[in-house]
Chain A
Amino acid sequence: MYRISDQQIDYILNDIGARGVEMESLQQNLLDHVCCIIENNLEENGDFESFYKKTIHTFYKDELWEIEEETLLLLTYKNYYTMKKTMIFSGSFSAATMILGILFKFLYWPGASMFIILGIGTSSLIFLPLLFVLKSKDRHQTKDKIILAFGILSGILLSLSILFKVMHWPYSMILGYSSVISIGLILLPIFFITGIKKPEEKINTITISIVMIMICGLWLTLIRSPKGTKTLNIKNTTVYLINEQIVTTEKNLCANLFKSDSIKSETLTLTNQIVKVCDQLKNSIILTETGVSKIPDDFDSKELYISDGGDGFDENQLAKIDSLVTLMKKYNATTNNNPLNKIIPPNEETDFAYKFYWDKHVEVLKNLTQIQLIVLQNERLQSSK
């Protein structure tokens, strides 16, 4: 029976490590095993090194680390199976809800946004991360894993940014830009440079790179450029200021009517109230939009704009809208028997308030101005008769 020295044990352990077995307990197992074989089969004065090499070779087909790979595979197999199932399920679920969401959206049925949120949410928060975990098993090089991670992460960010955008949730633009930047400036260069070097992946690399450029390009085409947004903001704000000027002139023209016989008719009182509530609402919206209650003429240099996307109202504003709509309905009723212009088209009377609730600030401001102008002009029409 051969006796193995401590140096030989170190030699074997080093060799096992050098052959790619990294798990300590597996190293110890293999070490003990190979030592047992040597001790039992090598003659006392036999050649240790060549016998060891022959023995260790019987442990594997191509490489020793296959044993570790097999071990890890068995250890993760259970999770692997559940993950695979969850991935397929969540993927099918998100595809199905996505299709339903789009269908509902185009048919203008209620519930569309719920399906869209579920669809995009499931795909970006469950399906894509699982896809990464499962796919990264096939990638042995760290570089490939990083590329995959970046790709999946950018995909998640991009789909979330679109979801946030359509739901009018905050930070959608930040999400979108960070995803496009990570695709365009990090993922694409690394992917292209590593892929183009391998002859067998050349065509694949080129096509996938083109697809990535197209995705970034399409997204950037869809969004407005910062300059475009500014131009639009300036336009909106200018329109508002001009409208205000017209309303002020109209108010001045009517000033005498209000002065002379203040509570002459029911419509005059209503006109007065409607104009006031409209003013209050407008000021409140301007405060929300710009942070100041009145937009100055040099708004551009102070960067005080009415934005294109602003919407939503607080409780006070909603209460104001409701009281305005009540006044308007009353006003409409009084115009039934005379040739005055109505402020609510008759077919819209039932859900007129909703038009305000869901509209953008910039549209609501225009609407309020129109209402003020109609009632004031009505007064002048009447008085001129």
Chain B
Amino acid sequence: MIYSSELIKGTLKTIVLKLLADNKKMYGYEITQRVKELTLDKIQITEGALYPTLHALEADGLVTTETEFIGKRVRKYYSLSPSGKNKTKEKVSELADFMETMKFLLDIKTKTV
């Protein structure tokens, strides 16, 4: 099953930030492939969603970029800025908390005694 794009949209920033926190520097294609791998194809980030998000993160100063020439084309590597590192923690814990709330709200809490 592939998750709907609406679900991905709200969490994409967090996903990207967390990946960058774990991998130092990554480029766009690499990010999509890594997510695919880690989620066993369940989450497939589209180009149309990824690049706008990366640009927004850059504009907010959360990620920095460096470019590398691969033959004639340019590859842009993204890595976290210091403020991006703090933001990642914030976003991850916010999402975790959100998931707990959703479990409760939708009554799918794993039943523990």
Contacts and interface: CB of A to CB of B under 8 A. Distances in A.
B27 to A, nearest CB: 7
Contacts of A260: none
B10 interface: no
Interface in B33-79: 46-49, 51-56, 59, 67, 70-76
A28 B47 contact: no
Contact of B73 (A9, A58, A66, A67): A9
Given A75-B55, A75-B59, A32 B29 contact: yes
Interface in A69-96: 70-71, 73-75, 77
Contacts of B29: 32-33, 36-37
Given A6-B71, A33-B29, A28 B76 contact: yes
A10 to B, nearest CB: 8
Q: Size band of the B side of the interface?
A: 20 to 34
Nearest to B48: A67
Contact of B54 (A29, A58, A59): A29
Contacts of A77: 56
Given A74-B53, A75-B59, A32 B47 contact: no
B47 A59 contact: yes
Contacts, number: 68
A35 interface: yes
Nearest to B31: A33
Interface string A30-47: 111101110000000000
A10 B27 CA distance: 21
A29 B71 contact: no
B56 A32 contact: no
B58 to A, nearest CB: 9
Interface in A215-229: none
Given A35-B73, A67-B47, A70-B48, 6 more contacts: A31-B74, A32-B70, A32-B73, A59-B48, A60-B48, A77-B56
8 contacts: A6-B72, A29-B28, A29-B51, A31-B73, A32-B76, A60-B48, A70-B48, A71-B51
